[in-house]
Structure 1
């Protein structure tokens, strides 16, 4: 997999495009020999954000590459260019390994490469990808998905996770670790993008549950039940469930668990509280219960999450948090 072609057209996200150029470009040739031969393929002139880019070759050269990288697509409300979709499809038919970064998954899906396959994209757009392409098994929780010849990554920094994964496949773990150290990033991140997803409370407006949401958030340390919530909202449990589904897309208990986990994340980031104390403060009861639900929901244990997300200044009056371990191979 020595030749890498970067598919570039107007509307690509410059962060993902630049990241791929950094990983597979000649600037890192000293990490391993031989390194990749990178070329940018696209129309005669490409507008990427505020920058203009002059491709090395046209899109018709994509099928000549061993690996084709499709960066993020800025405006997912518009269909990707037909010439890009066709070129990516032809590259795959020709035997190229095709990988999308962030919303580049919409290009792969439009080309039919994700039909019947598991795939991901930025968590903010997984619902739209699933709606627009129902034959794709969209996984909103992972950082990337490897289907062999077709790979997809979640948003932004997850593009680096996928690029390092490709290097690991081609050159082995040692080279991928060496590359990660050169780029000052973790060689492998535990968990998925669920740990990065914010879970805001629905906007109050005039919804029947408008007063219930803040009431619950002030009592997360209490052992609340569905009956407690229904009593506070002055409605039956069945009616409560119907309104919850309409407002949040989930059940009262699942929403409550999500809020408890989110509060636990905040406490792990901002305090020195033990897991036992955080379990009590979030209504989870015991550290064992918190660890089980936290790991299942976020994808990593509480201690790992704290090391990754703790502010470098730490809580007031403490030393900087120990986040360096997250960068060690």
Structure 2
């Protein structure tokens, strides 16, 4: 059976946020090219977008009652981002969907809609950094993280703005069906297959890095040799920077130290190998640069709380 996603469009909806999920989830297919998700759009009548045209959803709010996942795109006008209010029928429908066990997802300022409905109280959540002051002030009961691309809190997932919605949708596909399905969907949509949710948003900084002086090329260089030992000094040398300058610039661009970033990439590569190959745990550890099965078990457990064998069984079953 396909998974039913119902998108809730409200006045002031951001067209990009409304258009991304159908593309990503529509591109998610199994090995026989069967669709894995059924996505529909609902709303209370014609919806005025933020850029001056109107969309007419095919379904009313009643569609939320049959959703496996409810997804709220960003809005740039309306009560949730202006004064913290939300139409009662919308609030009731969202709360009812959550109470019966639907997964709840938002992109960008769609998180304000969830917060206005009371679904984020006491929980960690993300939204676009540019709205931090306003949304944070309207909903102080939420544990906002305005730096990361997205937050996965189990049954509630929230993302930052625009491109981070792509990352969150691919993360959901990957969680539901594994790396192969998510990677195929990303290739079909011509987008990067994966960016860690904890990666920093690209926040405006007073002194931007000069062209050609970033760490992107070095990160690509490191990813091509994950199985090899790579030192901080070697990374800095490749970037033609001092260790101090490289570390500072790396953290500005990724939100992580070089060592933290490298460890996350290695653990992620190990996860992909566990999902998509029959390699033993020792071989997975070596190919991902973690060195030993013991180290792989420790880092995987610290990251997602399960052992390699349990992780492999979960994704083999999901795929």
TM-score, normalised to structure 1, is 0.63
Secondary structure at the aligned position of 1:21 is classed as helix
Secondary structure at the aligned position of 1:158 is classed as helix
> Relative contact order, CA 8 A, sep 6+: which one is greater?
2
Distance (whole Å) between structure 2 residues aligned to residue 63 and residue 270 of structure 1: 45
Equivalent runs, 1:129-140 vs 2, <5 Å = 129-140=135-146
Contact 1:279–1:290 (CA under 8 A) maintained in structure 2: no
User: Cα deviation per residue 1:75-105 (whole Å; 9 max; x = unaligned)?
Assistant: 2225443332222121111211010001000
Contact 1:65–1:96 (CA under 8 A) maintained in structure 2: yes
Equivalent residue, structure 2, for 1:238: none
Equivalent runs, 1:132-281 vs 2, <5 Å = 132-190=138-196, 192=198, 194=200, 196-200=202-206, 259=207, 262-263=208-209, 267-268=213-214, 275=236
Distance of aligned partners of 1:99 and 1:191 in 2 relative to their CA distance in 1, 3 Å threshold? closer
Equivalent residue, structure 1, for 2:98: 92
TM-score, normalised to structure 2, is 0.65
User: Cα deviation per residue 1:171-201 (whole Å; 9 max; x = unaligned)?
Assistant: 111100010011111111247563511123x
1:45 paired with 2:46, answer yes
Distance (whole Å) between structure 2 residues aligned to residue 271 and residue 181 of structure 1: 21
Runs of 4+ in 1 over 4 A off after TM superposition: 27-32, 190-193, 269-272, 274-280
Equivalent residue, structure 1, for 2:24: 23
Secondary structure at the aligned position of 1:11 is classed as coil
Query: How far 1:291 sits from its partner (Å)?
Result: 3.8
Contact 1:264–1:278 (CA under 8 A) maintained in structure 2: no
Distance of aligned partners of 1:74 and 1:183 in 2 relative to their CA distance in 1, 3 Å threshold? same
Q: Point out where structure 1 has 5 or more consecutive residues left out of the alignment.
A: 201-258, 281-285, 305-329
Counterpart among 77, 81, 106 of residue 82 in structure 2: 77
Let me know the Cα RMSD of the aligned residues.
3.2
Equivalent residue, structure 2, for 1:326: none
Q: Point out where structure 2 has 5 or more consecutive residues left out of the alignment.
A: 219-234, 262-319
Distance (whole Å) between structure 2 residues aligned to residue 265 and residue 195 of structure 1: 19
Distance of aligned partners of 1:300 and 1:265 in 2 relative to their CA distance in 1, 3 Å threshold? farther
Secondary structure at the aligned position of 1:38 is classed as strand
Larger radius of gyration: 1
Distance of aligned partners of 1:165 and 1:94 in 2 relative to their CA distance in 1, 3 Å threshold? same
Distance (whole Å) between structure 2 residues aligned to residue 36 and residue 154 of structure 1: 23
Distance (whole Å) between structure 2 residues aligned to residue 133 and residue 118 of structure 1: 12
User: Cα deviation per residue 1:131-178 (whole Å; 9 max; x = unaligned)?
Assistant: 211111111121110111101000100000000011112211110001
Distance of aligned partners of 1:277 and 1:186 in 2 relative to their CA distance in 1, 3 Å threshold? closer
User: Cα deviation per residue 1:193-219 (whole Å; 9 max; x = unaligned)?
Assistant: 63511123xxxxxxxxxxxxxxxxxxx
Contact 2:30–2:181 (CA under 8 A) maintained in structure 1: no
